[in-house]
Chains A and B, each alone.
Chain A
Amino acid sequence: MEENKSFDWSTDLKEVPVREWEDRFTWVEEPYVSPDGETIASIVNVEEGVFTVCENGETWDKEYDKAWNLRPLPDGKFAACVSSDEEWTLSISGNEWENWFDFIWNLQVNQDGSSLSLAVQKDMEYGMAVNDKPWDQMYENINEMVLSDTGSSAAVVQVTSMVQADIEVFKNGIFSCAVNGKAIDKKFLNIWDISFDSAGKNVAYGVRLDRTKYSIAVNDTAWDKQFQSVWKPLFISGDESVIAPVKEGGKWMLYKDGQPFWNKRYNQIWHLVVSQKTGNIAAIASDKFGKWTIAENDVTWNMAADQMISDLVYSKDGSTLVAVLKDKGFWTLAVNQKKWNLGADKVFTPCVSSDGNIVSVVIERQGQYFLVVNNIVIPNGYDFMATPVISPDNTKILQKAVKDGVYQRLILSMDKIL
């Protein structure tokens, strides 16, 4: 990421004592660390029914009746859902939005941090709010909220009222997809998995047309072709096409714009990812019952996991594809078809260098956190670690960890690790 260039890569160690927070507050909740590693923060309970956030030992100016959903933002600030006098709003490092609601949840942040969205409820009406601006139109219910990288928002909204157990009304379709608050003039039995195009203008989503027929809809139009089931679609080729895993004849295939795209039929394919650089398409797949692998451009990896593949990510240049997987009871990674030989109780979100040469990830073994770089486990165990960052020139890695009550922002030289 370009913004990593502005991070302090020259100071080897910065420390923040955090154990003393436990003496200052009734309790301290789980820590979050800013992307640049400069700040560690937790929601803290000051006294009965009084909460705030502590950042590097300094509390926010404001205190609240409740606080939850603390998240670091790309610019180094922190956001949390906060409540006073039974109303809720978003507080960004102590600065609240002007709008308050009866409830808020599902905080989403786009990649550069320019847009923050929430699902909101006021007077039992539901919608989204982006950067403190609630949708003009509110609805009876909301699910499946998404925020695009351009700041557009969308969700599945209930546009027709239904009394309890009225399956006839349900059958006629009571849901629509609302984009920036405006419901598309088309109702479906079900809508799931909304994807935006890169411009944040068009949406694609999975739909159920009746009890057994599924399809993919783009804006207000479903594909002509119907399927036994579908998973989340994705825009590709400069937003001109939509691809989606669909089930047909008992097997899963990849379709594009309503037509077969990949030839192979799978037991399962889901979690499509596309390299913006190369246009390669990959998916988590299973071609033998109970065995999981990766399909890239319709070719399966020569690797299988017997339990799960949970995450899939391309390096920026598209040269490296990383999968987080669980095999024979332990979590590990596979990079470009090669399974790492580490086994962990937990594997967190991997960090991949832009050129794909370095893959780093935090793992947990027997309650201790470790940093792993290119399949090498750095031996020092920690009480907690946040996602690492690789320097733009691949020479350093930023480790964010807590040990013995002290948060350490540590710059490690790659040549000492590899």
Chain B
Amino acid sequence: MSNDMEIKDKPSVVKEKNTDEAVEAGLAKLTPERIKNTINQVLQKETGPRFKAYVETCMHCGLCAEACLYFLSNDRDPSYSPAGKVKQTIWEMLDKKGEVSIEFLRRAVHIAHTECNVCKRCSMYCPFGIDIAYLMLMVRRICHKLEITPLYIQDTVNSHSATMNQMWVKEDEWIDTLQWQEEDAREEFEDLRIPLDKEGADIMYSVIAPEPKFQAGLLYQAATIMHAAGISWTMPSSPGWDNSNMAMFTGDNEISGRIARAFYETAARLKVKKIVMGECGHAFRSTYDVGNRWIGWAMPPFEVVHALEFYHELLTSGRITIAEKFKKTVTLHDPCNVSRGRGLHDMAREVTNMLCESFIDMTPNREHNFCCGAGGGVINCGPPYKGERMINNKFKAEQLKATGAEVLIAPCHNCHSGLEDIVHHYDLNMEVKFLGDIIYETMEKKIYKPGD
């Protein structure tokens, strides 16, 4: 990236490593015996040949360093390189056979939860394709079992466990919000519905809990798009509607699996053909790759598509037509979990070009794009770590600034929130939008009829 694009007047390296009360309270209760037993139990009983191969194959070549947003944002400090993070966590746990100190664990929690987005970019740079994200998630699993997971993401997992959604959305609150959005959207289409529990609908539409909690307008937009496209669809009134899964990122695999089960069994109860997910990347990773497999579904039991695949289908089939293309210059962020994880990056560009007049790609892009810096549960660790996150995202800010775009499209909730933070912190003067925002803004507000 050229120097003239470098963002100045902001701290260039993280000087102070924060912690929080949950981490500290957990650390205070630990005994050497519990630490040792827990680490050895996880490393010996919960790993297999895959873990062994990764640990034994790494040549410490450091090629992974160039891949990492944290390394690049912190003046190429080797302690932020992926291999450096493994060295400071898993390797030492192995070397010392679990006999590590409280101070070591404090640093391990910090690294695994706030200095790695488990974005897997480094795996593409590793000559052996070592999945360092998997190793970091193993550290998080140990932290979970030692009860030293950061406060805010743990609260999110607590919410998942009790309500099957990540934001303590009460059951009536969920339904009431859908009915409220349905009513409001009837201003545009008088017969619009958000059909609840419609058994036999073709599509179950599912979202993450921040939508009913803070961003109800996204439900409105989605309902408008579904209605205009003439889709047979439904949303569940029961738990199982939230496709997010922060337990996947804290190593609480048992709750993670329970969430995935509730999700797919809700689709089974409603007898749908397909599940369409809103614009969320980690939720896709959970339902398509992680949560489903933990409980035994090798592949998702239902066809499950991310919103951008669905938008592509609506636009190319003519179910949604664009009245007038979006005029502002846009760039596109590739969410790791649907780009590197699922290969949807070209489709995302096709959708963007169908909607927008002027698209400037960022560099690097597609599966090589940098993480937003918020994903993998990092943003969910909350306010105590926000300052560090901003510094750790400096290189991403430079990448965004270099595009000169007015609008930044981020088809993922975590990316969207994290990029909003970057845009504000680095005064980038960009507007962050979902693809759904732009579709809603540019689409013809008419109902699709076959043959029209």
Please give the residue numbers on chain A whose beta carbons come within 8 Å of chain B beta carbons, in ascending order: 26-27, 29-30, 45, 48, 66, 68-69, 102-103, 105-106, 119, 121, 126, 141-143, 156, 164-168, 170, 175, 189-190, 192, 208, 211-212, 214, 228-229, 247, 250, 267-268, 270, 286, 289-290, 292, 306-308, 310-311, 326, 345-348, 364, 384
Contact = CB atoms under 8 A, between A and B. Distances in A.
B298 to A, nearest CB: 3
A268 B296 contact: yes
A66 B186 CA distance: 13
A267 B296 CA distance: 7
Interface stretch (B111-119, B130-138, B172-180): B172-180
Interface in B147-174: 147, 151-152, 154-155, 158, 161-163, 170-172
A26 B252 contact: no
Contacts of B51: none
Contacts of B154: 167
Contacts of A306: 298
B449 interface: no
Given A29-B195, A250-B45, A289 B298 contact: yes
A68 B297 contact: no
Interface in B11-60: 22, 25, 45-46
Interface of B: 22, 25, 45-46, 144-145, 147, 151-152, 154-155, 158, 161-163, 170-172, 175-176, 179, 186, 190-191, 193, 195-200, 237-239, 252, 254, 257-258, 261, 264-265, 268, 271-273, 295-299, 301-302
A48 B190 contact: yes
B297 A214 contact: no
Contacts of B200: 30, 346, 348, 364, 384
A78 to B, nearest CB: 15
Contacts of B254: 212, 214, 228-229, 247
A189 B254 CA distance: 14
A121 B172 contact: yes
B429 to A, nearest CB: 33
B151 to A, nearest CB: 6
A69 B25 contact: no
A26 B186 CA distance: 12
Contacts of B296: 267-268, 286, 289-290, 292
Nearest to A348: B271
Contacts of A29: 193, 195
B295 A268 contact: yes
Given A29-B193, A69-B197, A106-B238, A212 B301 contact: no
Given A103-B172, A119-B172, A175-B162, A68 B196 contact: yes
B204 to A, nearest CB: 12
8 contacts: A29-B193, A167-B155, A175-B162, A189-B161, A211-B145, A290-B298, A290-B299, A348-B199
A214 B161 CA distance: 12
A27 B162 contact: no
A45 B175 CA distance: 19
A27 B189 CA distance: 12
Residue from B158, B195, B265 having most chain A Cβ neighbours under 10 A: B158
B301 A105 contact: no
B155 A142 contact: no
Contacts of B162: 143, 156, 175, 190
